[in-house]
Structure 1
Amino acid sequence: MNKIIKNKWVVIVLVLFVGIAIGKFLGGGNSDKVEEVNQLSEVETAQFWTCSMHPQIQQDGPGSCPLCGMDLIPLDNGLSSDEALPDEVPMSDAAMKLAEIQTFITKLESPEKELRLLGKVKADERLQFSQVIHFPGRIEKLHVNFTGEKVRKGQKLATIYSAELVTAQKELFEVLKSLSTSQVLVDAARNKLKQWKFTDEQISGIEKSGKVQTEVDILSDYSGYVMMRMVSEGDHVKEGQTLFQITDLSKVWLLFEAYENDLPWIKLGDALSIEVRSIPGKLLKGSVAYIDPFLNPKTRVAYVRVELPNSKGLLKPDMFATGIVKSKLSVNEDVILVPKSAVLWTGKRSVVYVKMPNRAHNSFLYREVILGEDAGDFYIIVDGLVEGEEIASNGVFKIDAAAQLSGKKSMMNPSGGKSSSGGHAGMDMGEEDGMKDMVMKPNVTVDRTKVPSKFRKQLGEVVDQYLLLKDKLVGDNAAIQDEVKAIQFFLKRVDMNLVMGDAHKVWMTALKSLDKDLRLLSKSVNIGEQRSIFLTLSTALSDVSQLLGVVMKEDRSLYLEYCPMADDNKGGYWLSTEEKIQNPYFGAKMLKCGSVKQVIK
């Protein structure tokens, strides 16, 4: 019996050990399995790769950035979504921050716009008068004899002799002397003088004097300023002839120019704040009194008139003025307004990028819209957006560039599809081609077969020293003085007499530019400044190397390489004997940014 019990315990212990061993084995295997699955999951989720300098660049595998040539890095695949539309442009939070993407939520608003209108002070046309004479005669004396003189109504302007006036006075005296003369004849004689604009006081004075006045005074019919003097002393004048042009400036017009696209915003009665340059610090107030019903066909503007009192004479004709009007567009209901920075305009299409709702990641979708009136910093959207949608309002070009490079709908490619790479954000292919034309298509052509080999070898020695300078900049080393001196030394050894004709002209032009840049480099200690000068040095040296040819030691190849981000995204070239990109404009910061554009033989 005891033996049976002992055997049972032995069996139990054995089973226990076997169970523990199996458990450890299975547990360890499962842990490895889980780790393997996690690693596989990480690999599977790393579907997108991006550029650290251009986060808008994304592709479904490793490779190089088409903009700068840098190696792509994995992108957190929180960006992928099963419900994503084919043309959506995904962007991580980091990419949004680097690209400075900002968004705007659309809402219904009453459009308001502030217009700044330029104009001038003008005389009120209704207060411009002609002072004329109503009988013929000769000017004996001018009492107002210069332009700009201020006159008042009833003021003596001129003294005139008139034979017709003498005759009229004699007729008046004859009828007054005759006792049998009827009152009708007396009134007729007086009315003749009244028709010549004589006042009752003047006629009464003539009658009381009893003498014929050979000279009479011409009195002003208006108050204002003499704008033009039409006669001089001694002139003979005819009935109806203008003596003076008089303008009353107690009230003036301000005529502001409004372009046709501003006219829908301006209405009669709109209030204006007016600044006049000759009256600094003083803000005048006025309102729109009249809007021209037609445009000037040459300037494409219509005049908007404001009328202002000018009792103190501060406003003078042809003074410049600026009118500020805040006006609302005459619409029956509120409209959708979006910032101008949110809209990409091609001339035919207007495009916005809508941030997709209900996504686990940031995602934008191309959408065409129809624009209405220009509302200052905003556009009115006639069609294409509804209230509450979120759109990109800053950095829109970067989203569009990412869409274009990904073969999705974009501003210049509304139907989608892959576009050629190699451009640069902010620089389209046309701009880069233009830069290549500047450097690689000179104005003259030279038959390089006629350029002596000796000259090309001497030029190769200059390039060898240039490459040492380039390597210093690649290594972010500003101590370049020895390399600059070496280039200058070998540059002086190039025999200009070896080349003739156009080749000689090309070399002398390049030599002048190279000398100038090397002198600047010899004095520079700032690496940023050195790189800027190095860019023009490289341009001149690459131009002359392409035109005249260059022979390198050991028959090495010479590469013309290009970085689109150099010189504030204008792009820059340099020469290298290595096909591998080593960027001298950014050094370690962006060492691989660039591409080979040409092999110079």
Structure 2
Amino acid sequence: MKKSIIFAVVAGAIGVLVGYLIFGNSNKEQSTDHQHTSATSNQMWTCSMHPQIMQPEPGDCPICGMELIPAETGADGLSKDQFTMTKNAIALANIQTVTIGSGNVNEQRITLSGKIVENEQLTVTQTVHYAGRIEKLYVNFPGEKVQKGQVIAELYAPKLVAAQQELLTAVALKSAQPELYNAVRNKLAYWKLSENQIKEIETSGVIKNTMKIYAENTGTVDKVMANVGDYVNSGAPLFSSTNLSSVWASFDAYESMLPFLSINQDIGITTNAYPNKKITATIDFIDPVLNTKTRTYTVRATLNNKNNELKPGMFVKGIVQTQNNKANQLITVPKTAVLWTGERSVVYLKVGKDRPVFELREVTLGKPYDESYEVVSGLENGDEVVYQGAFTVDASAQLQGKNSMMNSNKPAHMDKPEQSITVQGITSNNLESVLTSYLKLKNALIKSDVPKATLFGKETASLLKELKNQTTLSKSENQAIQDILNSLANLTSTEDIKNQRNSFRLVSDILIQIASNGDDIQKELYVQYCPMANNNKGAYWLSDSKEILNPYFGEMMLNCGDVTRSLQ
């Protein structure tokens, strides 16, 4: 009896264990299958050639027709331009963000670099006032100081010798002919002889062979322009000099600094020679013309230099403090957050609150400040931008095929032709045969049939020549048809399908312009575009069907492209 009970208990336990193993695993498998199905249902699909395409179901790429492939699971629930990064990657790259706002810029500090130059208003040239030969020259080198009234040269002048003789004669006749006496004295005074020199001649009665020349201004010699023994004419320069009691601080300012600088604005100036001595001055000149070579303009301040501490050629630094009256209205972004692509300025926004989701945003920038840029458009108060590690975020975007610095994911459709063609003589009637032949040429290129493409290229050229000879065309129409004929000549003279397709592209561009600007054509045509043709620059063609059959790739990517507009 006991054995029977024990056997029953053991059998029951074994049954429970077997049941658990069977039905328990079944439930787990069902749970796993459910989770897998749920994950699969959230799977996104993309195109390997056009990663901007994101669809919730498998299918074909709407651009090139290629079969879509599963996208990375990290892109679930995101828009096509958004992407995620792992927390580990963010930590390793030290990516940091900041919330932008307005009112962060109250004062702007502009730093200018420049040097001390001569005050050109105090630069003079010492000249001679009568012709003669330089017998002695007492100013011989640049940098020499000259005082007003100092003897600077002695000149032998034959005319001056004769004038002295006239003076002595006039002195003897002074009482009888005072007008003659005054006229001779005035002539010598006109030659810049001083009153003392004239009186000395009168009282001594001796004619001097050489005459001393006196400095007319005080200054420092810049350049000596004569030598002993030179024969000089009236007005010839001896040297130039500058009074260095006042000098200019001349700075080079960039175009971006122009909005912050103005006349009569205070500027603090320091020199390398006296770094602890600050000179306060005001801006008294801003060059109205930009230097096209350096892309800078001159900003200048006049400095008092009576102690002669400032030497021309010294490097100086100027600091201008500007007040921003509209600081509370400005939206600014850190300079480190902005990435430059040439034509575009972009930043990366963190748009995910619970997880690190990023998105590229194009911005229009205004004035530059010390550590930030004014944002004209593209951002709003409260946006969170990446200000450290932006290049790492951009690299992640490129690897995931998202919108990035180098990939804007925007096809460059050409809605209007670059060349303007005035259509007058070409009508839908005389263009119909040309378009029919053109469509045959297009179909031959779709099939990569070089002989037929050559045949229909010649046929199209022949029809265009007939149109040109039988119709009165405008100048732009004549030029357009000649350009088509030149391209068709290249198309029919080669057996390389790539060269034929390139020539066909040029033919298509002009025919689209003519058909677009002329009167209504009899048969509806479609302007179609492939973004990958012409080395990814894009190319257009005309078709009489909405179906995309690509003449630039043929069977390689037969359905790559889309319809941009229709003509009828």
**Could you say which TM-score interval applies, normalised by the shorter chain?**
0.5 to 0.7
Aligned to 1:107: 101
Q: 1:140 to 1:262 in 2, by over 3 A?
A: same
- Deviation, structure 1 residue 224: 0.6
Task: Indicate the residue corresponding to 1:337 in structure 2.
Answer: 332
Where in structure 1 are there 5+ consecutive unaligned residues?
A: 1-27, 50-76, 418-601
2:292 aligned residue: 297
Deviation of the 1:161 alpha carbon: 3.0
Aligned pair partner of 1:89 in 61, 71, 83: 83
2:347 equivalent in structure 1:
352
Structure 2 Cα separation of the partners of residues 182 and 244 of structure 1: 40
1:224-243 correspondence to structure 2 within 5 Å: 224-243=219-238
Indicate whether 1:374 and 2:365 are aligned: no
Give the counterpart letter for 1:316 in structure 2.
K
Q: Read off the aligned partner of 1:349 and give its amino acid letter.
A: R
> How do 1:204-283 residues align onto structure 2 when only pairs under 5 Å count?
204-283=199-278
CA shift at 1:151, angstroms? 1.0
Secondary structure in 2 matching 1:305 = strand
Q: Where does residue 311 of structure 2 map in the other structure?
A: 316
SS in 2 for 1:393: strand
2-side partners of 1:406 and 1:271: how far apart? 52
- Which of 391, 397, 411 is 1:397 aligned to? 391
Select the residue among 143, 152, 156 that pairs with 1:148. Answer: 143
Change (3 A) 1:407 1:313: same
- How far did 1:239 drift? 1.8
Give the drift of 1:180: 4.0
What's the C-alpha RMSD, in Å, of the aligned pairs? 4.2
Q: Partner amino acid for 1:364?
A: F
Change (3 A) 1:41 1:281: farther
> Shift of residue 40 of structure 1?
6.4
Q: Residue in 1 aligned with 2:185?
A: 190
Q: 1:119 aligns with which of 94, 114, 120?
A: 114
Residue segments in structure 2 that go unaligned for 5+ positions in a row: 1-19, 44-72, 412-568
Secondary structure in structure 1 of the residue aligned to 2:316: strand
Displacement after TM superposition at 1:219 (Å): 0.8
Quick check: 2:75–2:83 contact (8 Å CA) kept in 1? no
Match of 1:128 among 123, 130, 147: 123
Q: 2:387 and 2:275 mapped to 1: Cα distance?
A: 38
One-letter code of the match for 1:267? Answer: S
Q: Quick check: 371-380 or 153-162, which moved more?
A: 371-380
Counterpart CA distance in 2 for 1:284 and 1:142 is 39
In 2, distance between residues paired with 1:197 and 1:38? 118
Partners of 2:292 and 2:335 in 1: how far apart? 29
Rounded Cα–Cα distance in structure 2 between residues aligned with 1:164 and 1:262:
59
Question: 1:163, 1:410 → 2: CA distance?
Answer: 84
- Please give the per-residue CA displacement for 1:409-456, whole angstroms capped at 9, x wherever unaligned: 333343399xxxxxxxxxxxxxxxxxxxxxxxxxxxxxxxxxxxxxxx
- 8 Å Cα contact 1:158/1:219 also seen in 2: yes
The superposition leaves residues 128-159 of structure 1 with CA deviations (integer Å, 9 ceiling, x where unpaired) of 11111112233333333333211111111122
Match for 1:386: what amino acid? E
* Contact 1:408 1:416 (8 Å CA) reproduced: no
Counterpart Cα distance in 2 of 1:135 and 1:308: 37
SS in 1 for 2:404: coil
In the other structure, the counterpart of 1:199 is: 194
- Indicate how the Cα distance of structure 1 residues 350 and 205 shifts in structure 2: closer, same or farther if over 3 A, else same: same
Deviation at 1:385, TM superposition (A): 0.8
Which residue, 166, 169, 172 being the options, matches 1:174? 169
Distance 1:353 1:237, change over 3 A: closer
The residue identity in structure 1 corresponding to 2:301 is: V
Q: Which moved more, 1:328-337 or 1:262-271?
A: 328-337
Structure 1 residues 406 and 43, CA, compared in 2 at 3 Å: closer, same or farther? farther
The answer to whether the 8 A contact 1:370-1:382 is kept is yes
Alpha carbons of 1:81 and 1:229: their partners in 2 closer, same or farther (altered >3 Å)?
closer
Partners of 1:265 and 1:328 within 8 A in 2: no
Q: Is the 8 A contact 1:111 1:334 kept in 2?
A: no
- 1:59-81 per-residue CA deviation (whole Å, 9 max, x = no partner) reads xxxxxxxxxxxxxxxxxx9x999
User: Is 2:354 aligned against 1:365?
Assistant: no
Distance of 1:129 and 1:389 partners within structure 2: 61
CA displacement at 1:86 relative to structure 2: 5.3
C-alpha offsets along residues 178-226 of structure 1, whole Å, 9 cap, x if unaligned? 3643543332222111101122233333333343333332110000112
Inter-partner Cα distance in structure 1 for 2:141 and 2:391: 64
TM-fit CA distance, 1:266:
3.0
Instruction: Assess, with a 3 A threshold, how the Cα gap between structure 1 residues 330 and 307 changes in structure 2: closer, same or farther.
Output: farther
Q: Which amino acid aligns with 1:128?
A: T
What count of residue pairs does the alignment treat as equivalent?
Answer: 364
Relative distance call for 1:173 and 1:362 in structure 2 (3 A) is same
CA distance in 2, matches of 1:37, 1:360: 31
Distance in 2 (CA, whole Å) between partners of 1:283 and 1:38 is 82
Whether the 8 Å CA contact 2:99–2:383 is kept in 1: the answer is yes
Q: Alpha-carbon deviation of 1:331? A: 7.2
What letter is aligned with 1:164? K
Query: How much does 1:103 deviate?
Result: 1.4
Distance 1:330 1:214, change over 3 A: farther
In 1, Cα distance between equivalents of 2:410 and 2:213: 85
CA distance in 1, matches of 2:75, 2:30: 18
Change over 3 Å in CA distance of 1:144–1:350 after alignment to 2: closer
Partner residue of 2:382 out of 366, 385, 388 = 388
Range with greater deviation from structure 2 (225-234 or 328-337): 328-337
Offset at residue 292 of structure 1 (A): 1.8
Question: In 1, are the aligned partners of 2:173 and 2:181 still within 8 Å (CA)?
Answer: no
Q: What displacement does 1:383 show?
A: 0.9
1:111 and 1:337 in contact (8 A); partners too: no
CA shift at 1:126, angstroms?
A: 1.5
Cα gap change, 1:379 to 1:336, in 2 (>3 Å): same
CA contact (8 A) 2:102 2:327 kept: no
